[in-house]
Structure 1
Amino acid sequence: MGVPEDLPFARHLRPFDSEPAQDEDYTGRHLDGGEFDDVKAGGTRFDECAFTATTFTGGDLGGARFSDVGMGRTRWIGTSWSETDLLDVVIEDSVLAGVQAHGGTWRRVVLRGCKLDSLNLRATRLHDVEFRDCDLTEVDFGSATLTGVTFPGSTISRARFTRTTVKKLDFRKARSLDVAEGWDFLRGAIIDSGQLAEAAAALAQTLGLQVKDR
């Protein structure tokens, strides 16, 4: 795929000389292509790095930090991102399936055209995060803190928001909004009139309302 041209540090990137390792500091590195199984890179720092056309299956990046990082056409399957922090990160055309990303902090993160399946974001703090044109299926936001989070063009299916804390959470431009659990914890979130009509039955059930025409 090559280095993403819109990265301000793209011309300074150098290839990784090996797979990421635990408790290392990587600055200005580019991992392009390859499949990696059970990589152990917990506690590692990635600053001004890029990942492209790369697949990670399993493995542990718990406690890692991604700062000023671009990811394109990456696949993360069943990888642990527990207590991992993302700052100024862009993830494009990527897959996160079964990723355990609970307990971390995501700040100024943009996901574009990504498929997120069974992504665990429980107790994660999301600040100024945009899910743009993404497919979110069974994503768990339980006990997370969502501040300035938006979903333009995204499809949300069977999402969980139990015990979620929200501030400036905006669903209005999402293509669909299907909440499996936690409507009662979305007080203050913004939805449009069409989403309200679609969610009416679920909201009535949450509030204990009985809807009878006769």
Structure 2
Amino acid sequence: MSPATPSARRPSTPGATSRTAPRLAPCRPRAVETFSGDVYAEESLEGLTIRAAAWADRDLHGLTLLDCILQGAQLDGTNLKGARIHDTEVAELSAPSLTAPESSWSTASVRDSRIGAAVLHGGVWRSVLVTGCKIDFLNLRDTTLQDVVFENCSFRDVDLVNARATRVAFRGCRAETLDVRSAQFDAVDLRGLEFTRVDGLDALRGTVVDEQQLMALARRLGIDVR
């Protein structure tokens, strides 16, 4: 496995400008050593490749991963509250329930992962790429997101209630429900997100939508566009 290449991180949303497109820093973990030991809450791991970690049902609150590659981890029921995931690539993660509220993600990537409920509320995300993932319920309410891209992902529900998002883009994604009540958006590009239902239309100020999405939103408001 290799870290995401710089070309995969360059924003390419049609019509996006350098001011409004997400500014993703390359995620190139310096994982120089393979790790196979035990891990504990509030521990800090740096520069490690961690494969097939069996961390299900563990209390790992406050765990820090810096310059790591985490591949094929089993995280169902793992308590990762307040975790710090920096300069780290997470790949092929499996978790019917991922519990990491108030966590911090910076210059990180998450790819090819399958998650049931991703409980990530109250956190901070900066320069994060999420690609090729299937997530039933993505809970990012009360989260600050800056320079974040969701690419080729499928969701059932996306919860951005009371989130604060700047330069966030969806590309080739779909969701059944998008909940943006009380959210604050600046340069959020929704054109690459197919959604069936949206809650909180008044919070869509600061987003970019395409013509088809605009028509769907108008119909939801009872507006007849001719």
Counterpart among 191, 196, 206 of residue 214 in structure 2 = 196
Unaligned runs of 5+ in 2: 6-26
Q: Secondary structure at the match of 2:139?
A: coil
Counterpart among 77, 81, 84 of residue 100 in structure 2 = 81
Partner of 1:170: 189
For normalisation by structure 2, the TM-score amounts to 0.83
**1:30 and 1:49 in contact (8 A); partners too:** yes
Distance 1:121 1:149 in 2: 13
Partner of 1:8: 28
Partner of 1:42: 61
In the TM superposition, what is the alpha-carbon distance from 1:177 to its structure 2 partner? 2.6
Unaligned runs of 5+ in 1: none
In the TM superposition, what whole-angstrom CA distance separates every residue of 1:138-190 from its partner, at most 9, and x where no partner exists? 1211011111110011112211111111000111233x133331111111211
Counterpart among 173, 192, 197 of residue 179 in structure 1 = 197
Distance 1:63 1:194 in 2: 39
Distance 1:97 1:10 in 2: 30
Relative to total residues, which structure has the larger strand share, 1 or 2? 2
Query: Relative contact order (alpha carbons < 8 A, sep ≥ 6): 1 or 2 greater?
Result: 2
For normalisation by structure 1, the TM-score amounts to 0.87
Partner of 1:17: 37
Change in 2 beyond 3 A, CA 1:169/1:5? closer
Counterpart among 30, 49, 64 of residue 49 in structure 2 = 30
Partner of 2:10: none
Query: How many residues were matched structurally?
Result: 204
Partner of 1:102: 121
Residue identity matched to 2:162? S
Q: What's the C-alpha RMSD, in Å, of the aligned pairs?
A: 2.0
Query: 1:48-59 alignment to 2 at 5 Å?
Result: 48-59=67-78
In the TM superposition, what is the alpha-carbon distance from 1:62 to its structure 2 partner? 0.4
Give identity over the alignment, percent: 27
Q: Secondary structure at the match of 2:130?
A: strand
Larger radius of gyration: 1
Distance 1:162 1:126 in 2: 16
Residue identity matched to 2:209? I
Residue identity matched to 2:36? F
Q: Secondary structure at the match of 1:82?
A: coil
